């Protein structure tokens, strides 16, 4: 469906540009932006490769276990359904760390691993558990201390002061992260009463 929407938008923009005499501007904009997209993708590959490699090293060195032990008191509050030594806690902690450092693309594979581990301990396989909902809410809100991906995009776009987004991003993500936790806990209690 989304493909059809994009096709519709492209066709309409080309037709409008032909009738308004701006076809050369549309063609130049398409070529310039295609070139920029390739440059941007290449500049982000380095950040992604670095963080994915770091995550692999953290898993093999036992750092994930250490982080999960540090994260354990918080995880008891947010994820009471998860057993103490379950690997999901380590993956959730690593996912949170990657998101906090602003490398959300690198957090995705870790988040998938966390969801797989949470599904293993889920009693109702066709329904998301409270822990899965909490993790999804936290992950979607995307708490960030340092928006590294956004800074990399701004640098690639030629911004002269890309770090000026750090404070506004921190404020916005604190609000969204806190809201996600509160709303999930409210729905969790509401679900228990009706369940």
Using an 8 Å Cβ cutoff, are 173 and 143 in contact? Answer: yes
pLDDT of residue 192: 59
- The count of residues in the chain is 195
pLDDT tens series, the chain, 195 aa: 778 898 898 888 888 888 888 888 888 888 888 888 887 777 777 766 776 677 678 778 877 677 767 777 888 888 888 887 788 888 888 888 777 776 777 778 888 889 999 999 998 888 889 999 999 998 888 787 777 777 777 887 788 888 888 898 889 888 999 999 999 999 888 765 555
Domain borders along the chain are 2-194
What is the 3-class SS of the chain, one letter each residue? CHHHHHHHHHHHHHHHHHHHCCHHHHHHHHHHHHHHHHHHHHHHHHHHHHHHHHHHHHHHHCHHHHHHHHHHHHHHHHCCCCCCCCHHHHHHHHHHHHHHCCCHHHHHHHHHHHHHHHHHCCCCCCCCCHHHHHHHHHHHHCCCCCCHHHHHHHHHCCCCCHHHHHHHHHHHHHHHHHHHHHHHHHHHHHHHHHC
Report how far residue 87's alpha carbon sits from residue 127's, in angstroms, rounded to the nearest whole number. Answer: 21
Tell which residue, 95, 89, 96, has the closest CA to residue 73: 89
Tell which residue, 41, 70, 59, has the closest CA to residue 149: 41
Q: Which residues contact 58 (CB under 8 A, 6 or more apart)?
A: 64, 67, 94
Using an 8 Å Cβ cutoff, are 134 and 188 in contact? Answer: yes
pLDDT of residue 195: 53
Cα dist from 120 to 65, 128, 184, whole Å: 19, 11, 21
């Amino acid at each position: 469906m989304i493909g059809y929407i994009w096709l519709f938008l492209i066709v309409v923009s080309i037709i409008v540009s032909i009738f308004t005499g701006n076809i050369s501007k549309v063609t130049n904009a398409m070529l310039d932006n295609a070139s920029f997209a390739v440059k941007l993708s290449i500049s982000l590959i380095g950040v992604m490769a670095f963080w994915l490699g770091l995550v692999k090293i953290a898993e093999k060195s036992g750092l994930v276990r250490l982080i999960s032990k540090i994260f354990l008191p918080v995880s008891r509050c947010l994820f009471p359904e998860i057993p103490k030594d379950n690997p999901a806690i380590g993956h959730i902690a690593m996912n949170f760390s990657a998101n906090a450092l602003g490398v959300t693309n690198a957090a995705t594979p870790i988040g998938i691993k966390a969801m797989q581990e949470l599904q293993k301990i889920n009693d109702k396989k066709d329904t998301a558990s409270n822990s899965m909902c909490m993790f999804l809410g936290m992950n979607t809100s995307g708490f960030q201390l340092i928006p590294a991906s956004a800074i990399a995009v701004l640098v690639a776009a030629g911004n002269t002061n890309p770090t000026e987004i750090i404070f506004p991003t921190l404020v916005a993500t604190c609000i969204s992260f806190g809201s996600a936790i509160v709303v999930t806990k409210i729905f969790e209690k509401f679900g228990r009463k009706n369940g």
